[in-house]
Amino acid sequence: MTASHIDYTIRFAIDPAAAARMDTDALRANFHIGDLFRQGRISLTYSHYDRMIVGGAMPVDRPLALETIRPTGTARFLERRELIAVNIGGPGRIEMNGESFRLEPRDMAYAGMGEDVTFSSEDPAAPAKFYLLSAPAHQALPRRHIRIGDAKRLDLGSAATSNERSIFQFIHPEGVKTCQLVVGMTQLAPGSVWNTMPCHVHDRRMEAYLYFDLDDSARVLHLMGEPSETRHIVMAREEAVLSPPWSIHSGCGTANYAFIWAMAGDNVDYTDVEMVPMETMR
């Protein structure tokens, strides 16, 4: 039985031909994830793409325990899973098997297989917002707290191509070890609006994006689909989108923004991608 403070939905895998026939409502129903951060609740989306779970936890005046949901088929949520939580709200705390870590905005915590996890906010007037990412695990790895200043930073792009950006790699082969989760954050500079263009696909890993650091009226047009059969989904602040392994994942905003990207699948190799030539895009 699911705890009263947890809601979940299930998203099934969609093949490229089916996605190409979808209208706007169908695309959003299958790939867009909204209402992630609701006061006093944990909201989860269980995806059949590499069994990734995407969610949000927003504790206010009491802690929120991450308890199991029916799709995992286990007595405890992380019995056979690992978890990454990134805080995009006010200061908060994550407790893992009795050890507590304080997460400032844009800090991340990793919980390995077998951990029990609880989230809390330091100030109910400015609650923490924990963006949650979980995938199946095959071994228990040490819990870790990674501050934004500790992430591997790469400054790429240029103002001339509207994609000047800083990439923060929280999880990478030379740093914190995971079973399969790879997570990072990209911050676009003022005046830059494009992400992941030229684009790519990676058939061995799915990906999920969370767009944030946007004004209420700002939007990002997220591009998806096969390179020869592209579609778009209009994204608002603090909304997520699922990207199947066969799909491109790119976006263009009405202003600069930040987004958290997360992958799960066969490997943790950032370079294992297939670049898409611009002349083949449709």
Per-residue pLDDT tens digits for 88-131 = 999 999 999 999 999 999 999 999 999 999 999 999 999 999 99
Q: Is 249 labeled as ligand-binding? A: yes
pTM, whole model, 2 decimals?
Answer: 0.96
Q: Domains of the chain by range and CATH?
A: 6-13+35-144 (2.60.120.10), 149-280 (2.60.120.10)
**pLDDT for the residue numbered 83:** 98
Q: Decide: helix, strand or coil at residue 184.
A: strand
Residues in the chain with pLDDT values less than 50: none
Q: How far apart are CA 13 and CA 31, in angstroms?
A: 10
**pLDDT for the residue numbered 15:** 96
**pLDDT for the residue numbered 133:** 98
Nearest to 251 by CA among 198, 206, 196: 196
Q: How far apart are CA 196 and CA 144, in angstroms?
A: 28
Q: Is 200 labeled as ligand-binding? A: yes
Q: What is the DSSP string of 2-47?
A: --TTEEEEEE----HHHHHT--HHHHHHHHEE-----TTEEEEEEE
**pLDDT for the residue numbered 56:** 98
Q: Is 145 labeled as ligand-binding? A: no
Answer for the pair 205, 267: CB distance below 8 angstroms, yes or no: yes
Residue 203 pairs with which residues in a beta bridge? none
Q: Is 222 labeled as ligand-binding? A: no
Q: What are phi and psi of 258, to 5 degrees?
A: -125, 160
DSSP 8-state code for residue 189: P
**pLDDT for the residue numbered 1:** 61
Note the pLDDT tens digit of each residue in 175-195: 789 999 999 999 999 999 999
Answer for the pair 68, 75: CB distance below 8 angstroms, yes or no: yes
